[in-house]
Amino acid sequence: MPVYEFKCMDCGEIFTIKMSVMEMESAQITCPKCGSSKVMKMISSFNTMTSKKS
Ligand SMILES: [Zn+2]
């Protein structure tokens, strides 16, 4: 089961959540620290999308 890393846009907290891809599709991810739903998914090295090149 992949581990997803998220960063909270409100407080800057970085946290990881382990869930399946199916769970990921329907899950409402919220920051464990401040409860904000404004979280950004960090792309893990093993699961890179071609969204941005450095
Ligand atoms: Zn937060």
What are the tens digits of pLDDT across the range 17-51? 988 888 888 889 999 999 999 999 987 655 555 55
Q: How far apart are CA 39 and CA 7, in angstroms?
A: 5
Structural domain including 38 reads 3-42
Q: How many domains does the chain have?
A: 1
Q: How far apart are CA 2 and CA 54, in angstroms?
A: 24
- With respect to residue 12, please indicate whether it lies within any of the assigned structural domains: yes
CA of 17 to the centre of ligand 1 (A): 14
Q: What is the mean pLDDT of residues 4-17?
A: 95
- With respect to residue 54, please indicate whether it lies within any of the assigned structural domains: no
CA of 41 to the centre of ligand 1 (A): 13
Which residue intervals of 1-54 are DSSP H helices?
Answer: 21-26
CATH number at residue 13: 2.20.28
Q: How far apart are CA 11 and CA 21, in angstroms?
A: 26
pLDDT at position 42, please?
A: 87
CA of 8 to the centre of ligand 1 (A): 5
- With respect to residue 19, please indicate whether it lies within any of the assigned structural domains: yes
- With respect to residue 50, please indicate whether it lies within any of the assigned structural domains: no
